[in-house]
Amino acid sequence: MADLETYRNKRDFSRSPEPRGKRGKQRSRLSFVIHKHDASQLHYDLRLEEDGVLRSWALPKGPGLDPGEKHLAVQVEDHPLDYGDFEGVIPDGYGAGTVMLWDRGEWRVTGKHDDGQIDFELDGAKLKGAWTLKRMSGRGSGGKRQDGKQWLMIKRHDATDSHVPDSLDDISVASNRRMTEIAEGKSPSSPLTGSSSTAGSSPAASSSTTSASKSSSKNASSPRSSSSRTSSKTESKRSTGGRKARTIKIDPGQLEGARKANLPPRPAAQLATLVEEAPADDDWFHEIKFDGYRILARLDRGKVSLLTRNGHDWRDRFPEIAEAIEALPLEKALFDGEVVALRRDGISDFRRLQGALSDEKTAGLVYQIFDLRYLDGLGLEGMALDNVALRDRKALLAQTCDAVKIGNGGLLRYTDHVEGQGAAFYQQASRQGLEGIVSKRADSFYRGRRNRDWLKAKTERQAEFVVGGYTDPKGSRSGFGSLLIGAYDDDGKLRYCGRVGAGFSNDQLAEWQRELARSPRKTSPFVERDIPDLAGSHWVTPKRVIDVNFSEWTNDGRLRHPRFRGLREDRDPHDIRLNPQRVTEPSMSEKASEPAPQKRSTRRRSGGGDVEIEGIRLTHPDRVLFEDQGITKRALAEYYAEHAGWILPGLAERPLTLLRCPSGVGETCFVQKHPSETMPDSLPSVAIAEKSGRHDYLYARRAADLVALVQMGTVEFHLWNSRVDDLERPDQLVFDLDPAPDCEWQAVIDVAGELRQALSELGLTAFLRTTGGKGLHLVVPLKPHADWETAKGFAEAVCERCADRHPDQLTLNMSKQARRGKVFLDYLRNGRGATAVASYSVRAKPGAPVATPIRWEELGPKLRADNYTLANLPRRLASLKHDPWAGFDDVRERLTQRRCRNGGLNG
């Protein structure tokens, strides 16, 4: 039954501009509105007209835009129909904050409509398509019964999916104003009548720039709210190439620093200086650091050059972007931006970009524009803007993008920013898995060189290095073993930083082998005293730059757990410098190094007991998870955060199965494969085809992801034997040695040795891990070549041969009767979808044991499967001089047909 009493009782209409309203008459054509509401937390409000009122739901993350996407919808009090026209600022009190009329139109029921479900279609200015509202039942978090107010808003597949906008933009359909302009009381302009294509946040910015401003403050600035010196503009129509554009009438005298000049023929890019923290002052603009190729786009009377940082024209490499710029209704322009490949969540992905270029499938790439250096057109004739302050360049860029219809979608996209709030913006970027942020001084001029007017802060360890050599491959690995890499010091000398052999596909190994053979040299290009004694080393001219991820720097200036990300063709090798903040050498006689990583900080949030670890809010941090040891949720999260450098190399980017114990070990624990609605959207996921359809699996990329999963009650991490970028080809085998209760530990040791020898005879190297349970794992690194059926069949054949040799010690039979006094040799962990516990994962068992990689030399009578625990493992890791699994990636081999036959696999 419609009821407005709750609505009225919550408001003081003598202070609030909201309409008091009354119940309206039932109508055949029903309206809907969606408000964007910047209250204590920014959210959207869906309001559907029914029974003379607007039934209302708060959408914390907005409406889902992709088919199948589910977003929480919390039902709130009914609102009067008059509220459908409301836009403004609610003063202090209930719902205080800015309210925008984000979308409106008509809605209709298309299927089920009862107390628990509403199937409906929206026909609005922005949203057109089918959704379902479904009431959630049962118990929520903490075991509390749902109060009936929690619903899910689910986007359905339909013929109008293409009409749904790419992101939730920041423009009112009623007044054409942004949130900041509504808050400032700016007069409305002509309303929006169709789908939005005005300048605003890109999908990446929508999930990061805008989100950061939401979470940190209501005062995040958009380009239109920056204090520009440009005069007010009038709109007129201009047709160029059949397109209509609004002409911006600008008095050049009002753009302080602008001057008439020719379009620069060979512009140089402004570069950012790497820093550890974003500046805290308010006079800085903060943008997303995109993970792509920096491009200066030069438009000269319909001809486009796409210039890299070292001056190469990549127009032919990005033809679709070039054509899109050529079609702009401008005479001449010089844009600065970055070409990126965007994931579905709007985050740029350099590996996808490299793949698109390699496959020559560049139609889906995007040019994120963040600066304007020259403009001739739209009322501004041939003006160079390098001496115009950034705040005014960004304001003019926003107006220009608005006029030529560059907005949130398409190949060309405007890049928004946040003003001030650097620390909060950085934390939000880290939380969402972005590469980092770029901070720019708002009053700075554009200078085509590196200076401290532009600063970059990265959320993960990633850098570019110069290739100076390579090692021979081992075993059956093709191409090369590892690339030998370094960076230049201040004296122009190439300093050795380590070797990287992980992250290469088979095609890349062959391609690099051919490329390296073209530029051999007899002597090492590195500083001689830096080079370790590496057998089979070859030297090359240092002219190639690669992008590398790594976990940390060692004290002797080497990379730990490096992984190849891609070739940087846009970098000059001599520009690749050792980061001075990481170099701790008092004189050139000492090696470049970085101090040992310090303990990660844990910050307690004010006003409550929650803490923040790796930027993740941890609720109930003092909840005891392991009763006997008194291990709390906070202690578990700190363990995963502080030791992520050990954990992530073997766990990152693999589909996960989680063991969750929200109330603690010993209470109810459960296994979870697919993400639930309560899990944060910042966690990455991959869709995997299964018998029942395609289902999402979570995976982790960084320490913050591990902490986020601990926040959800995760204790154990179990993972697939393949990576998310090559799901159908496993890159490791796991053999699980599970002893019966009456089996002697020495038998486990003997079986491990026998299995190791059997694998060695087949040319495979096995690495050893205690499971934290009763037995051991032997893990064999593979090149991702064979399919799942082959891998599982091979593992079974090897186990059968071992069991046939030692029937008194081994069995492949799972029954308790057959396993008495024997070791069960489990090969089933090598099937598609099967998992094994991750290295360094805590186990949900008494004593908090940890699955721990060990050296073969450590295996003996004194060692036990639960030898290492959350209490003593950190001491072990701190004392290790070498990784027990050092060289894991270097000894990968293929499961060839010959090897499979020798292992006993027929066919």
The token pair at 165 is 């906008």
Residues 491, 468: Cα–Cα separation, whole Å: 17
Is the C-alpha dihedral spanning 816, 818, 822, 825 positive or negative?
negative
Residues 601, 455: Cα–Cα separation, whole Å: 23
Residues 388, 443: Cα–Cα separation, whole Å: 8
Token pair 């992905």 in the structure block, residue: 349
Residues 179, 170: Cα–Cα separation, whole Å: 7
- Taking Cα atoms as reference points, which of 566, 570, 573 lies closest to residue 358? 566
Task: Provide the CB-side half-sphere exposure for 781 (13 A, CA).
Answer: 18
Residues 541, 33: Cα–Cα separation, whole Å: 63
Residue 474, burial from CB neighbour count under 10 angstroms (0-12, 13-18, 19+): middle
Longest dimension (CA), the chain: 93
Question: Read out DSSP for 147-159?
Answer: -S-EEEEEEPP-T
Question: β-pairing, 332-340 with 380-384?
Answer: unpaired
Helix/strand/coil for 890: helix
Token pair 């159908």 in the structure block, residue: 728
* Residues contacting 61, CB < 8 A, separation 6+: 43, 71, 72, 681
* Cβ-contact 45, 129 below 8 angstroms: no
Question: Read out DSSP for 689-736?
Answer: EETTEEEEEE---SHHHHHHHHHTTEEEEEE-SS-TTSTTS-SEEEEE
Using the 8-state DSSP alphabet, how is residue 145 labeled? B
* Residues contacting 520, CB < 8 A, separation 6+: 538, 539, 540, 541
The token pair at 645 is 């450098």
Residues 252, 256: Cα–Cα separation, whole Å: 8
The token pair at 820 is 């008495």
* Residues contacting 878, CB < 8 A, separation 6+: none
Query: 394's torsion region: left (phi>0), alpha (psi -120 to 50) or beta?
Result: alpha
Angle at 225 between CA 224 and CA 226, to 5 degrees: 95
Beta bridge partners of 496: 486
Q: How far is CA 282 from CA 256, 421, 422, 453, 495, in A?
A: 21, 7, 8, 14, 38
Angle at 276 between CA 275 and CA 282, to 5 degrees: 75
- Taking Cα atoms as reference points, which of 131, 302, 336, 98 lies closest to residue 213? 98
* Residues contacting 455, CB < 8 A, separation 6+: 272, 273, 274, 275, 278, 279, 438, 439, 440
Q: What is the 3-state secondary structure (H, E, C) of 275-301?
A: CCCCCCCCCEEEEECCCCEEEEEEEEC
Residues 72, 153: Cα–Cα separation, whole Å: 6
Residues 907, 384: Cα–Cα separation, whole Å: 70
Q: Is 816 a catalytic residue?
A: no
Amino acid making up residue 193 = T
Which among 36, 126, 128, 289 is annotated as catalytic?
289
* Residues contacting 298, CB < 8 A, separation 6+: 263, 264, 267, 304, 305, 306, 307, 333, 334
Token pair 């891998």 in the structure block, residue: 791
Residues 370, 334: Cα–Cα separation, whole Å: 11
Give the residue numbers marked as catalytic. Answer: 289
